[in-house]
Amino acid sequence: MSTDTLSAASARHQKPSKTTFTYGTAGFRTLGSLLDSTVFRVGVLASLRSAKLGGKTIGVMITASHNPPQDNGVKVVDPLGEMLPQTWEPYATQLANSDNFEDDVRDLVAGENIDVEQAGLVVVGMDTRETSPQLLRAAVDGIEVFGRAKSFGELTTPQLHYLVRSHNDPAFGEPSEDGYNKKTVGAVAEILRLWNIQDPLEITVDAANGVGAPKLHNLSRDPIKITVVNDSTHDKSVLNVECGADYVKTNQKLPANVRPRDRQLYSSFDGDADRVVFYYTDGSLFHLLDGDRIATLLASFIDKLLQQAKVQAKMGIIQTAYANGNSTKYVQETLQIPVDFTPTGVKHLHHKAQEYDIGVYFEANGHGTVLFSDNLIKSLKNKQPSSPEEERALKTLLLLTELINQTVGDSISDLFAVLLALRIQNKTCVDWGRDYIELPNKLFKVLVKDRFAFKTADAERRLVEPAGLQAKIDALVAAYTRGRSFVRASGTENAVRVYSEAASAADCAELGARVCQLLEPY
């Protein structure tokens, strides 16, 4: 180990005192001004991860997604574009907080039996935040202690995942941003051609003033026509402010600067473009089409294609406790597709989805994707169609496996998949909104002394600690028709979240407020 380099480099990235860092639902996330040492250390960890895996390419993404402009964050991406395995998360947390960094690195190297000479490439991307460029430099500094860094500058999070995967697996696509664009636009164009659709795919997207904006501009070429609003990435103070997928989903209202025409579809990305939600207005009414809707739309579209292609496949939809109760009912009773529940955070949903031939996973907030198993792709490729209809369905399915990001939720590819599903099925946004009627639901954020005191079970739907609290929630819920409420600690913010739903909006608000009151002593 080049201890001199490690100590010299780490001396340039002093850890702030009195701050504890935790690798949570989506890596480290806090004020950007506090993160220099953490990002440097994550850089070191990423190159060690690469060494551990015999030199495979690893990714580091600098972003705080939908968080406010002053925040930032960092996460590590594994070779096939998956999240860092949970067994390595404690190493990340330990190194970030270590007062004996060099010793702890040495212990990790010995404990995991890592040959640091094996450290290979780490690709790095960042969102558009003010602190991102300096944090990117800290990451590179850390990576270069043992390995090699390649910075791609501004990227969406899913583009970084794509790049990691394509560096390790050339069949996945060209390892460049241009390769990502070509793969995406190529699949869209080919699907439109198969279905003889002449008009381009058109929509207005609120890009949250984030990195999705320039990336959408790059992609907006024949046959894709996108109008981007909230695309001010130069003004660093407006990222995610009164706009973006999280704002629209949480407040259930239009973002700033979108002036909709009635019954027309609009969409919002989050700050790093891995979440997308849709909506339309009808008079004074605002209709949100969230991640639950995207899952049902794509699953039913794919199901139809499977039938047309005469292909048998095991499909499942993966949800979290935040999925609307009526979406679950619709999937189980009308679509007759099995539903699984996992804890919050795409890493959990992603793993569950891998158990199916086709695993459709979306968090209600619009973060998700559709995974196709290698076996299924192989059988789609090998199948000899016996009619033109069958052939078109088979080809469309194969192109969807190219279009839809197989590594992580991706606003851009999800956007196109949704627009294609609607267009091919001649379905309007109003039809889509009528698939099922959502139960009124509300999300609350409660500040508590210690969010880590809140421990859950049953895919986070029940509290096991603090003792006795779940029984009180159950007693409240029992009084409301179709009532449901649960409490869990956020993994990205210093708060506890409360979710409520019920048959009427008034009941939903009252139930949620009462559950929030139960948290006052904590």
Q: Does residue 268 have an active-site annotation?
A: no
Question: Least separation, in Å, of the C-beta of 368 and ligand GN1?
Answer: 10
CA distances from 242 to 100, 275, 401 (A): 42, 16, 34
Pick the closer one to Mg ion by CB: 47 or 240. 240
The residues that touch Mg ion, with contacts defined as CB under 5 A, are: 65, 270, 272, 274
The residues that touch ligand GN1, with contacts defined as CB under 6 A, are: 25-26, 65, 322, 344-346, 363, 365, 367, 490-493, 497
Question: Least separation, in Å, of the C-beta of 160 and ligand GN1?
Answer: 15
Could you tell which of Mg ion, ligand GN1, none binds residue 491, using a CB distance below 5 to 8 A set by kind? ligand GN1
Pick the closer one to ligand GN1 by CB: 49 or 488. 488
Could you tell which of Mg ion, ligand GN1, none binds residue 21, using a CB distance below 5 to 8 A set by kind? none
Question: Least separation, in Å, of the C-beta of 50 and Mg ion?
Answer: 24
Pick the closer one to ligand GN1 by CB: 260 or 491. 491
Which of 137, 179, 187, 162 is closest to 37 using CA atoms? 137
Residues 363, 15: Cα–Cα separation, whole Å: 34
Nearest-5° Cα angle at 250, 409 to 66: 50
Nearest-5° Cα angle at 230, 226 to 231: 70
Element (H, E) at 513: helix 505-518
**Torsional sign, CA 96, 97, 101, 107:** negative
Residues 446, 60: Cα–Cα separation, whole Å: 31
Pick the closer one to ligand GN1 by CB: 40 or 322. 322
**Taking the CB of residue 435, how many other CB atoms lie within 10 A of it?**
17
Residue 332 DSSP label:
I
Does residue 128 contact residue 239 with C-beta atoms inside 8 Å? Answer: yes
Could you tell which of Mg ion, ligand GN1, none binds residue 98, using a CB distance below 5 to 8 A set by kind? none
Question: Least separation, in Å, of the C-beta of 69 and ligand GN1?
Answer: 16
Could you tell which of ligand GN1, Mg ion, none binds residue 272, using a CB distance below 5 to 8 A set by kind? Mg ion
Residues 6, 23: Cα–Cα separation, whole Å: 22
Amino acid at 77: V
Q: Dihedral angle at the C-alpha atoms of 474, 475, 480, 485, nearest 10 degrees?
A: -30
Pick the closer one to ligand GN1 by CB: 10 or 441. 441
Pick the closer one to ligand GN1 by CB: 372 or 499. 499
Pick the closer one to ligand GN1 by CB: 101 or 499. 499
Amino acid at 305: L
Which of 269, 337, 332, 264 is closest to 301 using CA atoms? 337
Question: Least separation, in Å, of the C-beta of 65 and Mg ion?
Answer: 3
Three-state SS for 334-375 is: HHCCCEEECCCCHHHHHHHHCCCCEEEEECCCCEEEEEECHH
Residues 27, 253: Cα–Cα separation, whole Å: 29
Per DSSP (E only), the strands in 230-355 are: 266-269, 276-282, 285-289, 315-319, 339-341
Question: Least separation, in Å, of the C-beta of 30 and ligand GN1?
Answer: 13
Which of 205, 327, 220 is closest to 267 using CA atoms? 205
Residues 71, 445: Cα–Cα separation, whole Å: 18
Question: Least separation, in Å, of the C-beta of 402 and ligand GN1?
Answer: 25
Question: Least separation, in Å, of the C-beta of 201 and ligand GN1?
Answer: 26
Pick the closer one to ligand GN1 by CB: 220 or 250. 250
Catalytic member of 65, 132, 166, 327: 65
Counts for the chain of helices (H) and strands (E), in that order: 18, 19
Tokens of 490: 């956020």
Kindly list the catalytic residues: 65
